[in-house]
Amino acid sequence: MVNITNLHKKFGPLVVLNGLNLKTPESGIIAVLGPNGSGKTTLIKSILGMVVPQKGEIEVNGERVKKHWNYRKNIDYLPQIANFPGNLKVQELIDMIKDLRGKEARDQELIDLFKLEPFLEKKLSNLSGGSKQKVNLVLCFMFDSPLIILDEPTSGLDPVSLIRLRKLIQREKEKGKTILITSHIMNFVEDISDRIVFLLEGQIYFNGTVEELKTSTGEKDFEHAIANILTENHA
Protein backbone atom coordinates (compact mmCIF):
# COMPACT_ATOMS: atom_id res chain seq x y z
CA MET A 1 0.00 0.00 0.00
CA VAL A 2 2.73 2.52 1.03
CA ASN A 3 6.26 2.13 -0.36
CA ILE A 4 8.94 4.62 0.76
CA THR A 5 12.49 4.59 -0.58
CA ASN A 6 15.50 6.56 0.71
CA LEU A 7 13.46 9.44 2.14
CA HIS A 8 15.40 12.51 3.28
CA LYS A 9 14.02 15.68 4.85
CA LYS A 10 15.80 18.59 6.51
CA PHE A 11 14.41 21.74 8.07
CA GLY A 12 17.37 24.10 7.85
CA PRO A 13 20.32 22.28 9.43
CA LEU A 14 18.03 19.85 11.28
CA VAL A 15 17.91 16.38 9.71
CA VAL A 16 14.46 14.89 10.38
CA LEU A 17 14.33 11.95 7.94
CA ASN A 18 17.63 10.36 7.03
CA GLY A 19 17.37 7.76 4.27
CA LEU A 20 14.18 6.17 5.57
CA ASN A 21 12.85 3.04 3.84
CA LEU A 22 9.44 1.53 4.57
CA LYS A 23 7.06 -0.85 2.82
CA THR A 24 3.71 -1.51 4.47
CA PRO A 25 1.64 -4.65 3.92
CA GLU A 26 -1.47 -4.50 1.74
CA SER A 27 -3.63 -4.64 4.86
CA GLY A 28 -3.12 -4.46 8.60
CA ILE A 29 -2.52 -2.06 11.46
CA ILE A 30 0.95 -0.51 11.69
CA ALA A 31 1.92 1.61 14.69
CA VAL A 32 4.53 4.27 13.96
CA LEU A 33 6.31 5.00 17.24
CA GLY A 34 9.31 6.98 18.41
CA PRO A 35 10.35 9.77 20.77
CA ASN A 36 9.60 13.42 20.06
CA GLY A 37 11.70 14.60 17.14
CA SER A 38 12.18 11.11 15.70
CA GLY A 39 10.41 12.00 12.43
CA LYS A 40 6.94 10.46 12.93
CA THR A 41 4.95 13.58 12.07
CA THR A 42 7.21 14.46 9.13
CA LEU A 43 6.84 10.92 7.78
CA ILE A 44 3.04 11.09 7.97
CA LYS A 45 2.92 14.55 6.40
CA SER A 46 5.26 13.38 3.63
CA ILE A 47 2.88 10.52 2.79
CA LEU A 48 0.01 13.03 2.73
CA GLY A 49 1.92 15.47 0.52
CA MET A 50 1.91 18.14 3.25
CA VAL A 51 5.72 18.03 3.49
CA VAL A 52 7.96 17.76 0.42
CA PRO A 53 11.14 15.70 1.04
CA GLN A 54 14.45 16.79 -0.48
CA LYS A 55 15.17 13.27 -1.70
CA GLY A 56 13.48 9.89 -2.04
CA GLU A 57 10.30 8.38 -3.41
CA ILE A 58 6.89 7.68 -1.92
CA GLU A 59 4.31 5.49 -3.62
CA VAL A 60 0.76 5.02 -2.36
CA ASN A 61 -1.10 2.11 -3.93
CA GLY A 62 1.47 2.04 -6.74
CA GLU A 63 1.14 5.75 -7.51
CA ARG A 64 4.03 8.19 -6.97
CA VAL A 65 2.95 11.08 -4.78
CA LYS A 66 5.48 13.67 -5.97
CA LYS A 67 3.72 16.47 -7.89
CA HIS A 68 0.44 14.57 -7.71
CA TRP A 69 -2.59 15.01 -5.49
CA ASN A 70 -5.25 12.64 -6.84
CA TYR A 71 -4.03 9.76 -4.65
CA ARG A 72 -5.14 11.67 -1.53
CA LYS A 73 -8.77 10.92 -2.37
CA ASN A 74 -8.07 7.36 -1.22
CA ILE A 75 -6.64 8.38 2.17
CA ASP A 76 -8.61 9.13 5.34
CA TYR A 77 -6.58 11.22 7.80
CA LEU A 78 -7.15 12.00 11.47
CA PRO A 79 -4.87 14.90 12.50
CA GLN A 80 -3.54 15.10 16.04
CA ILE A 81 -5.00 18.59 16.43
CA ALA A 82 -8.10 19.45 14.42
CA ASN A 83 -8.68 23.19 14.22
CA PHE A 84 -12.40 23.33 13.57
CA PRO A 85 -14.11 26.66 12.85
CA GLY A 86 -15.80 27.33 16.19
CA ASN A 87 -18.78 29.16 14.71
CA LEU A 88 -19.96 26.07 12.79
CA LYS A 89 -22.38 23.53 14.19
CA VAL A 90 -21.31 19.88 14.19
CA GLN A 91 -23.84 18.92 11.48
CA GLU A 92 -22.78 21.88 9.34
CA LEU A 93 -19.15 20.76 9.49
CA ILE A 94 -20.02 17.17 8.58
CA ASP A 95 -22.14 18.35 5.64
CA MET A 96 -19.39 20.71 4.47
CA ILE A 97 -16.74 17.95 4.47
CA LYS A 98 -19.12 15.60 2.62
CA ASP A 99 -19.66 18.26 -0.05
CA LEU A 100 -15.91 18.88 -0.38
CA ARG A 101 -14.99 15.19 -0.70
CA GLY A 102 -17.88 14.36 -3.03
CA LYS A 103 -17.86 10.71 -1.99
CA GLU A 104 -20.51 8.48 -0.48
CA ALA A 105 -20.38 8.86 3.30
CA ARG A 106 -21.49 6.74 6.23
CA ASP A 107 -21.69 9.59 8.72
CA GLN A 108 -24.92 8.49 10.40
CA GLU A 109 -23.46 5.09 11.29
CA LEU A 110 -20.51 6.80 13.01
CA ILE A 111 -22.68 9.45 14.68
CA ASP A 112 -24.67 6.59 16.21
CA LEU A 113 -21.50 4.70 17.20
CA PHE A 114 -20.01 7.64 19.11
CA LYS A 115 -23.39 8.88 20.44
CA LEU A 116 -23.06 12.31 18.81
CA GLU A 117 -26.72 12.86 17.94
CA PRO A 118 -27.35 15.28 20.88
CA PHE A 119 -24.38 17.42 19.77
CA LEU A 120 -25.21 17.88 16.08
CA GLU A 121 -26.83 21.29 16.51
CA LYS A 122 -24.18 22.57 18.93
CA LYS A 123 -21.39 24.90 17.85
CA LEU A 124 -17.95 23.34 17.77
CA SER A 125 -16.60 26.04 20.09
CA ASN A 126 -18.96 24.74 22.82
CA LEU A 127 -17.78 21.12 22.68
CA SER A 128 -15.41 19.45 25.11
CA GLY A 129 -12.09 18.10 23.87
CA GLY A 130 -13.44 14.54 23.93
CA SER A 131 -16.54 15.46 21.92
CA LYS A 132 -14.40 17.29 19.35
CA GLN A 133 -12.28 14.16 18.99
CA LYS A 134 -15.41 12.09 18.32
CA VAL A 135 -16.39 14.56 15.58
CA ASN A 136 -12.85 14.25 14.23
CA LEU A 137 -13.24 10.45 14.13
CA VAL A 138 -16.55 10.71 12.26
CA LEU A 139 -14.92 12.97 9.66
CA CYS A 140 -12.00 10.57 9.27
CA PHE A 141 -13.84 7.25 8.98
CA MET A 142 -16.96 8.23 7.05
CA PHE A 143 -15.50 7.88 3.52
CA ASP A 144 -14.37 4.24 3.56
CA SER A 145 -10.92 4.76 1.98
CA PRO A 146 -8.33 1.93 1.66
CA LEU A 147 -5.60 3.82 3.58
CA ILE A 148 -6.30 5.37 6.99
CA ILE A 149 -3.76 7.49 8.91
CA LEU A 150 -4.56 8.15 12.58
CA ASP A 151 -2.39 10.61 14.52
CA GLU A 152 -3.06 10.13 18.26
CA PRO A 153 -6.64 8.86 17.77
CA THR A 154 -7.22 8.13 21.47
CA SER A 155 -6.69 11.75 22.56
CA GLY A 156 -9.42 12.94 24.94
CA LEU A 157 -11.58 9.82 24.62
CA ASP A 158 -13.41 8.29 27.57
CA PRO A 159 -12.97 4.52 28.21
CA VAL A 160 -16.26 3.55 26.49
CA SER A 161 -15.41 5.56 23.35
CA LEU A 162 -11.93 4.03 23.39
CA ILE A 163 -13.43 0.54 23.24
CA ARG A 164 -15.70 1.63 20.37
CA LEU A 165 -12.72 3.08 18.51
CA ARG A 166 -10.71 -0.11 18.95
CA LYS A 167 -13.56 -2.20 17.53
CA LEU A 168 -14.02 0.26 14.65
CA ILE A 169 -10.34 0.07 13.70
CA GLN A 170 -10.44 -3.74 13.81
CA ARG A 171 -13.50 -3.79 11.53
CA GLU A 172 -11.72 -1.53 9.04
CA LYS A 173 -8.71 -3.85 9.08
CA GLU A 174 -11.00 -6.82 8.35
CA LYS A 175 -12.09 -5.02 5.17
CA GLY A 176 -8.49 -5.29 3.92
CA LYS A 177 -7.43 -1.72 4.70
CA THR A 178 -4.00 -0.40 5.68
CA ILE A 179 -4.08 1.64 8.89
CA LEU A 180 -1.15 3.71 10.18
CA ILE A 181 -1.39 4.83 13.80
CA THR A 182 0.70 7.03 16.06
CA SER A 183 -0.07 6.91 19.77
CA HIS A 184 1.56 7.44 23.16
CA ILE A 185 -0.86 4.95 24.79
CA MET A 186 1.23 1.79 24.79
CA ASN A 187 -1.47 -0.66 25.90
CA PHE A 188 -3.67 0.56 23.03
CA VAL A 189 -0.78 0.10 20.58
CA GLU A 190 0.01 -3.38 21.87
CA ASP A 191 -3.63 -4.51 21.73
CA ILE A 192 -4.37 -3.29 18.22
CA SER A 193 -1.17 -3.36 16.16
CA ASP A 194 -0.03 -6.04 13.71
CA ARG A 195 3.37 -4.39 13.29
CA ILE A 196 5.50 -1.83 15.09
CA VAL A 197 7.66 0.64 13.18
CA PHE A 198 9.97 2.44 15.61
CA LEU A 199 11.76 5.58 14.43
CA LEU A 200 14.96 7.01 15.87
CA GLU A 201 16.83 10.00 14.45
CA GLY A 202 14.97 9.88 11.16
CA GLN A 203 15.54 6.19 10.47
CA ILE A 204 13.66 2.99 11.18
CA TYR A 205 15.29 1.29 14.16
CA PHE A 206 12.79 -1.58 14.37
CA ASN A 207 10.12 -3.00 12.05
CA GLY A 208 8.29 -6.12 13.18
CA THR A 209 5.57 -7.59 15.36
CA VAL A 210 5.01 -6.89 19.05
CA GLU A 211 6.34 -10.35 19.92
CA GLU A 212 9.42 -9.84 17.76
CA LEU A 213 10.07 -6.55 19.56
CA LYS A 214 9.84 -8.25 22.96
CA THR A 215 12.18 -11.01 21.82
CA SER A 216 14.76 -8.61 20.35
CA THR A 217 14.89 -6.52 23.53
CA GLY A 218 14.63 -9.44 25.97
CA GLU A 219 11.60 -7.87 27.63
CA LYS A 220 8.30 -9.63 28.38
CA ASP A 221 6.37 -6.37 28.70
CA PHE A 222 5.73 -4.19 25.63
CA GLU A 223 6.18 -0.87 27.42
CA HIS A 224 9.48 -2.06 28.89
CA ALA A 225 10.58 -3.20 25.42
CA ILE A 226 10.00 0.33 24.09
CA ALA A 227 11.84 1.79 27.09
CA ASN A 228 14.71 -0.60 26.42
CA ILE A 229 15.17 0.81 22.90
CA LEU A 230 15.18 4.36 24.22
CA THR A 231 17.63 3.52 27.02
CA GLU A 232 19.99 1.62 24.72
CA ASN A 233 20.07 4.57 22.32
CA HIS A 234 20.11 7.29 25.00
CA ALA A 235 16.99 8.83 23.48
Task: Count the helices and strands in the chain (H runs, E runs).
Answer: 8, 10
Amino acid 82: pLDDT: 78
* H runs (alpha helix) in the chain: 40-48, 90-101, 107-113, 129-141, 159-174, 186-192, 210-217, 222-232
User: Which pLDDT score is estimated for 61?
Assistant: 87
Domains held by the chain: number = 1
Q: Which helix (H) or strand (E) holds 55?
A: strand 55-60
Average pLDDT of the chain is 93
Residue 81 binned pLDDT confidence (cut-offs 50, 70, 90): confident
Which tens digit of pLDDT belongs to each residue from 1-14?
Answer: 899 999 999 999 99
pLDDT more than 70, % of the chain: 99
Which residues, 6+ apart, have CB-to-CB distance to 8 below 8 Å?
Answer: 15, 17, 18, 19, 20, 53, 54, 55, 56
pTM more than 0.85: yes
Confidence (pLDDT) at 137: 97
Domain extent for 140:
2-232
Kindly report, residue by residue over 127-160, the tens digit of the pLDDT. Answer: 999 999 999 999 999 999 999 999 999 999 999 9
CB 24, CB 188: distance < 8 Å? no
Over residues 164-188, mean pLDDT: 95
Instruction: For residues 24-52, give the mean pLDDT.
Output: 92
pLDDT tens sequence across 181-191: 999 899 999 99
What gap in Å lies between CA 215 and CA 209, rounded to an integer? 10
**60-64, 176-180, 226-230: least confidently modelled range:** 60-64
CATH number at residue 156: 3.40.50.300
